[in-house]
């Protein structure tokens, strides 16, 4: 619901009357599963500016900082926080927690009625 709310708000702010696509960046440490998002997206969009739009999810990897190599490294698996270069364990996450509304594709047109008052308690997705 937070995605719908955010995208609707941004579309309105930019004078868009119709949202064609929503681009999302998703990190493995966000706690959100891509398939679950895609499954519920269409249903959640009904009756909003986003109805009929496409959800484009870009999955981003977990990047950690290795203190031994003094550089950022991309993890192969979130089950092992170990530098793929030197093997040192590192807890320092640089990126990978994203659940980010990256961009929206909008066009102008006639205004559509929508209810932006989605309860925050229901903002589970």
Partner 1 sequence: MSSQPRLVEVRQNVLKQNDVLARALRQRFEGAGLYVVSLVSSPGAGKTTLLEKTLTRLRENGRRVAALVGDLATENDAARLSRSHVPVKQIITGTVCHLDAGMVQRSLDEWELSELDCLFIENVGNLVCPSSYDLGENLRMVLMSVTEGEDKPLKYPTIFNTADVAVITKMDLAEAVEFDLPAADRSIQSVRPGMHVLRVSAKTGAGLDEYLSFLESRIENSVAVGSRSPA
Residue closer to partner 1 (CB basis): 42 or 56: 56
Which residues inside 54-83 make contact with partner 1, applying CB under 8 A?
78-82
Site string for partner 1, 95-114 (x = CB under 8 A): --xxxxxxxxxxxxx-----
Contact 116, 49 (CB under 8 A): no
Residue 21 CA neighbour count, 13 Å, CB half:
8
Q: What whole-number distance in Å separates Cα of residue 60 and Cα of residue 21?
A: 19
- Minimum CB–partner distance for residue 64 and partner 1 (Å): 9
- Minimum CB–partner distance for residue 57 and partner 1 (Å): 12
Handedness of CA 3, 21, 32, 122 (dihedral sign): positive
- What contacts 74, CB < 8 A, 6 or more positions away? 61, 62, 63, 84
- Minimum CB–partner distance for residue 47 and partner 1 (Å): 19
Q: Which residues bind partner 1 (CB under 8 A)?
A: 2-3, 6-7, 10-11, 14, 16-18, 20-21, 24, 28-32, 78-82, 89-91, 93, 97-109, 120-124
């Amino acid at each position: 619901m937070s995605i719908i709310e955010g995208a609707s708000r941004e579309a309105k702010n930019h004078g868009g009357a119709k949202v064609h696509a929503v681009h999302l960046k998703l990190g493995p440490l966000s706690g959100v599963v891509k398939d679950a998002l895609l499954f519920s997206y269409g249903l959640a969009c009904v009756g909003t500016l986003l109805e009929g739009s496409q959800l484009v999810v870009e999955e981003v990897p977990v990047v950690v900082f290795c203190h031994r190599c003094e550089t950022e490294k991309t993890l192969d698996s979130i089950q092992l926080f170990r530098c793929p270069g030197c093997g040192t364990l590192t807890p320092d996450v640089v990126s990978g927690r994203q659940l980010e509304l990256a961009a929206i594709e909008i066009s102008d047109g006639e205004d559509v009625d929508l209810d932006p008052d989605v309860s925050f308690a229901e903002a589970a997705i």
